[in-house]
């Protein structure tokens, strides 16, 4: 059984690996992780005073106390509060059905848009792309989406997608693109200025100055998933030279 939780951050772990969450008196107070304060993200599960790995990948840590497994999976499992790119598949009365790439579709009320009322309904059609957020996501209930934040503002959410390209990448790459200081995003936008919408469900939408450049960006992002930083930068530079 592993005893040093933070010591394993950045290492590859496999299902069945365990961490003890018992207090270790030899660890300084600044480094100690309190068992009751540990937050389990994707790929980890708590069982009493143990933390179990249930998905292979690299252990990640976010201050102060959140841990998760960073893996290359493509099957998305919804989580409350995550923003995703969905496709409207059914328009039935007051509810839209949205495909987000999971095992079932999510529901989206016409009132879950900024400024929407019974008289002022949003213009949403089957086939539209929506950038939305989960407010209900658990195994016992149908997933539910909204296109407003806690204050009722759209905050960038809603129907979008005119003239761009939708494609998929691994969930790990999507999370890397959404990180506050993403090296991948910085390298990309230095060479190819573009509009980019990233969903935590692994769907990306991109729009650039031309169709050709949009396709190049999509191919680059799908290709750089498992590359090192120097390999990725070299690929981006060669692509930029070829596009000139």
pLDDT tens profile 12-54: 888 888 877 655 444 443 344 455 577 887 788 888 778 889 8
Domain covering 6-70, topology:
OB fold (Dihydrolipoamide Acetyltransferase, E2P) (2.40.50)
Average pLDDT, the chain: 85
Predicted model pTM: 0.76
Question: Per residue in 152-189, pLDDT tens?
Answer: 899 999 999 888 999 999 888 898 899 888 899 998 88
Q: In the predicted model, is pLDDT for residue 58 greater than 50?
A: yes
Residues 224, 235 contacting (CB under 8 angstroms): yes
The percentage of the chain sitting over the pLDDT mark of 70, rounded to a whole number, equals 89
Region label for 173, one of left (φ > 0), alpha (ψ between -120 and 50) or beta (otherwise): alpha
CB atoms within 10 A of CB 217: 26
CATH 2.40.50.100 in the chain is located at 6-70
Domain covering 83-160, topology:
OB fold (Dihydrolipoamide Acetyltransferase, E2P) (2.40.50)
CATH 3.30.1370.10 in the chain is located at 165-243
Spell out the residues 6+ positions from residue 211 whose beta carbon is closer than 8 angstroms to its own.
none
Question: Per residue in 187-231, pLDDT tens?
Answer: 888 888 899 999 999 999 999 999 999 999 999 999 988 888 899
Q: Does domain 165-243 have CATH number 3.40.50.800?
A: no
Locate 126 and state its tokens: 């089957």
């Amino acid at each position: 059984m592993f005893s040093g939780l933070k010591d394993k951050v950045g290492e590859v772990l496999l299902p069945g690996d365990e961490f003890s969450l018992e207090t270790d008196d030899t660890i300084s107070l600044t480094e100690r992780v309190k068992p009751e304060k540990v937050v389990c993200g994707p790929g980890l599960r708590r069982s009493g005073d143990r933390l179990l790995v249930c998905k292979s990948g690299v252990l990640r840590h976010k201050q102060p106390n959140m841990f998760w497994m960073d893996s290359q999976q493509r099957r998305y499992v919804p989580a409350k509060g995550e923003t995703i790119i969905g496709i409207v598949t059914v328009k039935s009365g007051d509810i839209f059905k949205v495909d987000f790439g999971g095992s079932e579709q999510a529901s989206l009320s016409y009132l879950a848009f900024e400024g929407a009322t019974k008289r002022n309904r949003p213009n949403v059609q089957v086939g539209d792309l929506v950038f939305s957020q989960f407010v209900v996501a658990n195994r016992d209930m149908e997933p539910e989406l909204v296109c407003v934040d806690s204050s009722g503002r759209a905050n960038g959410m809603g129907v979008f997608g005119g003239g761009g390209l939708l494609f998929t990448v691994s969930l790990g790459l999507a999370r890397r693109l959404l990180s506050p200081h993403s090296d991948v995003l910085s390298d990309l936008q230095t060479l190819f200025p573009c509009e980019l919408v990233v969903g935590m469900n692994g769907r990306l939408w991109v729009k650039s100055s031309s169709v050709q450049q949009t396709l190049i960006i999509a191919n680059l992002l799908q290709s750089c998933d498992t590359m090192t930083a120097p390999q990725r930068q070299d690929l981006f530079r060669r692509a930029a030279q070829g596009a000139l």
